[in-house]
Structure 1
Amino acid sequence: MKRSLGVSVMLLVFLTACTNTKAPELQSWAYYVVTWNNGVYKITDEKVTEIEEEIGTINIYSTNESGEISNLFSNKYKEGTKLYKIADLDTNEHIAVLDNGIYYRSDRLVGMKTSP
C-alpha cells in the first residue's frame, strides 16, 4: 500500500513537471500607435478640436508586437476606429484619432514605416 502511494506521488510529480503550463507572454509596446499612409504615429493624450476630414479607418488591431506593422493598424484602437486630418497641420506630421467622441492627436515617428 505504501509502495503504490509512493509510486502514485512520484508519477504525479513527474507528470506535473512534464506538462507545458507556461503562461502566454504579454507583449510590451513602448507606446500606443496607429498607422496611416505607411507612417507610424504615436498616440498622445492631447485633445484636438479643429478637425477637417476623415482620412482612414483602422483595419487591424493587435497587441502582438512583431517586426512588421501593417498600414491602418493600431495596438490600442479596434477595427473601425476613424482617423482624421487636423486643421492647419500636415498629415505627414500629425493626425487625429476619434475615441468616444474625443479627437486625440497622434505624432508621426520619424524613420518608422509600415510594412509594404
Structure 2
Amino acid sequence: MKKTFTFILTSMLFLVACSNSGDGELQSWAFDVITWNNGVYKVTNETVVTTEVEIEIGTIKKYSTNESNELPNLFSNKYKKGTTLFKVKNIETTDYIAVKDNETYQKAIRMKGMNTAATFSVF
C-alpha cells in the first residue's frame, strides 16, 4: 500500500511538472522592468515619497511574463496594463521615474545603453 501511494504521488508530481513546460509558461526574468519613452527601466525596491511625485507621464499598455528579445514601449513584466508612471520632481526621466504600486510609488532606474528599439537580453 505504501509503495502504491508513493508511486501515485511521484507520478502526479511528474505530470504536473511536465504540464508546465509549454509555450505559455511563466518565465523567470532577471529583474522587473518597465519601458517608457523607448527606454528600459529596472524596478527597484526603493520607494519615492508621494510629495516628490510630479506628473503622470504614461500608463502600462502591455504586460507579459514571457521573456523576449524585443520589448514594446509602455511594457512591464511586473505591472499590469493600466499601471501609471510618473515623473519625479527635480529628477530627469533619463535617470529614473516612479511607478504607482497600490498606495506607494516604486523607483524605476533607467538602464543606460538600453532602449526598446534595441535587442534586449535578460540572460
SS in 1 for 2:81: coil
Q: Please give the alpha-carbon distance, in whole angstroms, between the structure 1 residues aligned to 2:45 and 2:29.
A: 17
Runs of 4+ in 1 over 4 A off after TM superposition: none
Residues in 1 aligned to 2:67 and 2:100: alpha-carbon distance in whole angstroms: 23
The match for 2:88 among 83, 86, 89 is: 86
The separation in 1 between residues aligned to 2:46 and 2:26, in whole angstroms, is: 27
- Amino acid aligned to 2:46: E
Equivalent pairs, count: 97
- Which residue does 1:74 correspond to in 2? 76
Identity value in percent: 57
Give the CA deviation at 1:34: 0.5
Pair 21,112 (structure 1): closer, same or farther in 2 beyond 3 Å: same
Structure 1 stretch displaced more, 25-34 or 104-113: 25-34
Following superposition, the deviation at residue 21 of structure 1 comes to: 5.5
Please tell me the residue identity of whatever aligns with 1:66: S
Shift in Å, 1:93: 1.1
Residue 64 of structure 1 is aligned with which of 63, 66, 70? 66
CA drift at 1:27:
1.4
Question: 2:30 aligns to what?
Answer: 30
Q: Which runs of 5+ in 2 are unaligned?
A: 1-17, 119-123
CA distance in 2, matches of 1:38, 1:101: 26
Q: Distance in 2 between matches of 1:44 and 1:22?
A: 29
Relative to the length of structure 2, the TM-score reads 0.74
TM-score (norm: length of structure 1): 0.78
